[in-house]
Structure 1
Amino acid sequence: MCLTPFFSHFGENLSEAEPVWLRKSSCCYMIHIYNNFMNSLVFPGNYQLIVPPEPIIAAPGDDVILPCRVDPDWNAMEKTVEWFRPHLRAPGPQKRVEYVYVHRFRKMDRDMMMETYIQRTSLSEGLRHGDVSLRIHNVSLEDNGRFRCFIPNLSIEAEVLLVVDPDFVKMTTAETVPQRTSPTPDEETIRTGESAG
Structure 2
Amino acid sequence: MSITDALLAFTFSAALLTLTPGLDTALILRTSTIEGTRKAIQTQIGINAGCLAWAAAVACGLGALIAVSELAYNLLKWTGAAYLAWLGVKMLFKPRSKMGEVRLAQGKQNGFLRGFFGNLLNPKVGIFYVSFLPQFIPTGHSPVLWTFGLVLIHLLLGTLWSALLIGCTRRLSSVLKRGKVVKWLDRSTGAVFLLFAARLALSRRPG
Q: TM-score, normalised by structure 1?
A: 0.23
